[in-house]
Copies of this chain bind each other. A is one copy, B any other.
Amino acid sequence: MQRIEHRACFGGWQHVYRHTSATLDGEATFAVYLPPQAEQRACPVLYWLSGLTCTEQNFITKAGAQRYAAEHGVILVAPDTSPRGPGVADADAYDLGQGAGFYVDATQAPWASHYRMFDYVSNELPALIEAQFPATRARAISGHSMGGHGALVVALKNPGRYRSVSAFSPIVAPSEVPWGQKAFAAYLGEDREAWKAWDASALVANATERLPLLVDQGEADEFLSTQLRPDRLREACEAAGHPLDLRLRPGYDHSYYFIASFIGEHIAHHAAALKG
């Protein structure tokens, strides 16, 4: 594990590390923010999954989350959004391949050999964080857009592993929208039945754990009705009796200005659950 960035921030440290991931069969990069409290004791961890085209950098440079993490004594971990590198399959598109791993474990060639972001985020990354940093095993997860989908799916598929989950502008029904259909067809194949295991709106129907879902969605989001469809998650949660706190925010778009405006509320929500 190699440290490639190290910066003082709100009394703590913003780091970026690169390591060799067995799950992704190659190099992987993640950011970790250690709040000042981590100098004295182990702290709980909030995982953040970013959206299409992002790396580990977007969240740590644009969300302003470190201030709240320092207030609440929460470690922030933000992985890259896909495997990367010259030996890793890619597509000539912003919404498939490198930068667009969709937090699934791919089953189809040429993706299956490296594209295992679900396994990486669920298992290898938390094990690494808990071994190498002053982290407790109390975990929360959040993310944006494709990463909001990732956060919901990772929490729903790993009952008991997360104290809380939230999402900004998530793709809640990937099986039903263009971004998800394109990615799932490539990574998972044409059998749409298999897609349901990676679709938050399908997964809530059979969730064994009633972990409340906190979702923030801007009403001026340019992808609202075509790709995000929060109505589908609301319908699924109502049908399943799954707790959902869906907050529609007038005027806000899909950008980090939206995330920055409400990340403080999300971190307070997670901090309360992580302390419980």
Q: In the bound complex, do residue B64 and residue A260 qualify as a contact, i.e. CB atoms below 8 Å apart?
A: yes
Q: In the bound complex, do residue A253 and residue B64 qualify as a contact, i.e. CB atoms below 8 Å apart?
A: no
Q: In the bound complex, do residue A8 and residue B260 qualify as a contact, i.e. CB atoms below 8 Å apart?
A: no
The yes or no answer to A223 lying at the interface (CB within 8 A) is no
Interface 1/0s, chain A 50-74, versus B by CB < 8 A?
Answer: 0000000000011010110000000
Q: Which residue of B lies closest to A11 (CB)?
A: B261
A64 to B260, CA, bound (A): 8
Known contacts A61-B62, A62-B61: does B218 contact A261 (CB below 8 Å)? no
Q: In the bound complex, do residue B253 and residue A8 qualify as a contact, i.e. CB atoms below 8 Å apart?
A: yes
Can you list 25 A-B contacts (CB < 8 A)? A7-B255, A7-B257, A7-B258, A8-B220, A8-B249, A8-B250, A8-B251, A8-B252, A8-B257, A8-B258, A8-B261, A9-B260, A9-B261, A10-B260, A10-B261, A11-B261, A14-B257, A61-B62, A61-B256, A62-B62, A64-B67, A64-B260, A66-B260, A66-B261, A67-B260
